[in-house]
Amino acid sequence: MKIAVIGATGLVGTQMLAVLKERNFKYNELLLVASERSAGKKMIYNGKEYTVIGMQDAVNQRPDIALFSAGGTTSLEWAPKFAEVGTTVIDNSSAWRMSPEHKLIVPEINASELSSTDKIIANPNCSTIQLVMALAPLHQKYDIKRVVISTYQSVTGTGKVAVDQLMNERNGADGPKAYPHQIDMNVLPHIDVFTENLYTKEEMKMVNETKKILSAPKIALTATAVRLPVMGGHSESVNVEFHKPFELKEIPELLSAMPGVIVQDDIANNIYPMPLNSHNRDEVFVGRIRRDESIENGLNLWIVADNLRKGAATNAVQIAEYLVNAKLVG
């Protein structure tokens, strides 16, 4: 088993390496891959020194699985080249997510859709992953009619430059800017670029990807994505309207039974999900579970997860684990 991590020097790439180690993913050879300007650099991983290699070198070595986290442009150019030599690509960018020919996978929900012919597999958007982890068991029982999402997203979702901007502003230092405005002590209702319908790409990703993952094109969704000066993970306020009636006490039971979901909903003791507590965790945390009394069959949820873990790296590694266990690669 030969594994390549594409974008190994980035925030998500380093998390992928951490998750591979934590989950004891078995491989015989590991390739750390980055852009040509990073090729030749040395990295210490799991007690061993590696030399970072470039993309073509990695293709020539024909890895069994390539975990991609290098941006959409790189994925569009290089994922097909890996696929052509027999590598199964698990891509963390938005490049392939809405392609009808490619699967969009959250393992707990739809890994069974995968086959050995899937050579480019899309990893969903971080905000989408934590959303569908909570929605999937509820949709299965109550049939979701409409979802309204407001996100509260960590600067880590933008990358190292954004983290540096926040810390520089906090410390009164100058430096490169990831955002058009100050992020420290501020809230930006602007994630990714604005589109013709006045929504951002991030907001439309959540709408379109959720429908695809749940195989539910008729669900009505709308989203507002907001960036906060937070480090530990993404939070979401989610309002759900079902076609079918529900008993409120059933909701925590259904969510708790979902693999990878933890219910934290003890308001008497001020226990509810927070990004501070989700940091470096792989689970999706759900709380503030309450009926929406303004509509029939309405529910409110608060959903939190570490966007670099389950929202990116962990989900990708879980896909790789499924492929190996189902003997779809190797």
Name the phi and psi angles at 133, rounded to 5: -60, -35
State the catalytic residue, choosing from 102, 126, 139, 190. Answer: 126
Burial of 136 (0-12, 13-18, 19+ CB in 10 A): buried
pLDDT digits (tens, 9 = 90+) for 255-277: 999 999 999 999 999 999 999 99
State the catalytic residue, choosing from 139, 181, 190, 234. Answer: 234
The pLDDT, as a whole number, for residue 12 is 92
Instruction: For domain 127-307, give the fold.
Output: Dihydrodipicolinate Reductase; domain 2 (3.30.360)
Residue 243 known to be catalytic: no
> By C-alpha distance, which of 326, 328, 318, 279 is closest to 108?
318
The pLDDT, as a whole number, for residue 37 is 83
Residue 139 known to be catalytic: no
pLDDT digits (tens, 9 = 90+) for 121-167: 999 999 999 999 999 999 999 999 999 999 999 999 999 999 999 99
The pLDDT, as a whole number, for residue 126 is 97
Q: In the 3-class helix/strand/coil scheme, how is 62-81 assigned residue by residue?
A: CCCEEEECCCHHHHHHHHHH
Mean of the per-residue pLDDT values of the chain: 97
For the chain, domain boundaries = 2-124+312-325, 127-307
**Cβ burial 155-194 (10 Å sphere, 16+ → b, else e):** bbbbeeebbbbbeebeeeeeeeebbeeebeeeebeebbee
As a whole number of angstroms, the longest Cα–Cα distance in the chain is 60
**Cα–Cα distance, 308 to 115 (Å, whole number):** 26
Asked if the domains at 2-124+312-325 and 127-307 fall in one CATH topology, the answer is: no
pLDDT digits (tens, 9 = 90+) for 299-326: 999 999 999 999 999 999 999 999 999 9
**Cα–Cα distance, 234 to 305 (Å, whole number):** 6
pTM: 0.96
**Cα–Cα distance, 172 to 166 (Å, whole number):** 10
Place of tokens 């979902």: 258
Structure tokens at 160: 């190292």
Is the domain covering 2-124+312-325 a CATH 3.40.50.720 domain? yes
| Contact predicate 13/38, CB 8 Å | no
pLDDT band at 35 (very low <50, low <70, confident <90, very high): confident
